[in-house]
């Protein structure tokens, strides 16, 4: 059974939407953000090395990153909603798939950070966010490379 590890108010929402569009059976494992820092709870570290959502598990398969999860689900639904390869529609599909995390989200996150800085609610120095960039992310890269 497909399980979506879903953090409230997160990118994970679009996967729930996609699952409904594809009419695939799934379960939602819910996680709440910390009310003060907005960070995900430590429980997410059990399924993602950086403690991020969304994560999909399906039997022995675990997929992180919303883009690859979209591709996994579309494959699972027999290619539904994906235009034929080599078509103009497929080029647009690929463009928007990568635009979301490649261009749009960095801009939104930067705007969110600058707003947080301005309103003195920024937690850059705090535990996990800081640790991700200094420790967890390089460690993960080393392991993969």
Ligand X SMILES: N[C@@H](CCC(=O)N[C@@H](CS)C(=O)NCC(=O)O)C(=O)O
Q: Binding-site residue total for ligand X (CB under 6 A)?
A: 13
Among 24, 28, 10, 13, CA closest to 72 = 24
Nearer to ligand X, 87 or 103 (CB): 103
Alpha carbon dihedral 109, 72, 18, 77, in 10-degree steps, equals 170
Helix (H, G, I), strand (E, B) or coil at 33: coil
CA trace torsion 30, 32, 105, 89 (10° rounding)? 20
Q: How far apart are the first and last CA of the chain?
A: 31
State in angstroms the smallest separation of the CB of 133 from ligand X. Answer: 11
Does residue 7 touch ligand X according to CB under 6 A? yes
Touching ligand X, residues 38-77 (CB under 6 A) = 39-40, 51-54, 65-66
Binding mask 84-103 for ligand X (x = CB under 6 A): -----------------x--
From the list 131, 126, 105, the residue with the least C-alpha distance to 37 is 126
Q: How far is the CB of 88 from ligand X (least distance, A)?
A: 26
**Least distance (Å) between residue 97 CB and ligand X:** 11
- Least distance to ligand X, CB of residue 109, Å: 8
- Binding footprint of ligand X on the chain (CB under 6 A): 7, 10-11, 39-40, 51-54, 65-66, 101, 128
């Amino acid at each position: 059974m497909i399980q979506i590890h879903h953090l409230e108010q997160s990118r994970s929402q679009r996967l729930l939407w996609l699952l409904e569009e594809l009419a695939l059976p799934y379960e939602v494992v819910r996680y709440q953000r910390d009310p003060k820092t907005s960070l995900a709870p430590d429980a997410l570290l059990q399924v993602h090395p950086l403690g991020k959502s969304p994560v999909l598990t399906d039997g022995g398969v675990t997929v992180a990153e919303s883009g690859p999860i979209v591709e996994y689900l579309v494959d699972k639904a027999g290619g539904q909603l994906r235009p034929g390869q080599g078509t103009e529609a497929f080029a647009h599909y690929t463009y928007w798939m990568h635009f979301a995390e490649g261009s749009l989200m960095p801009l939104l996150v930067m705007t969110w950070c600058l707003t947080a800085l301005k309103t003195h609610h920024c937690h850059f120095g705090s535990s996990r966010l800081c640790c991700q960039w200094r420790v967890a992310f390089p460690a993960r890269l080393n392991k993969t490379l």
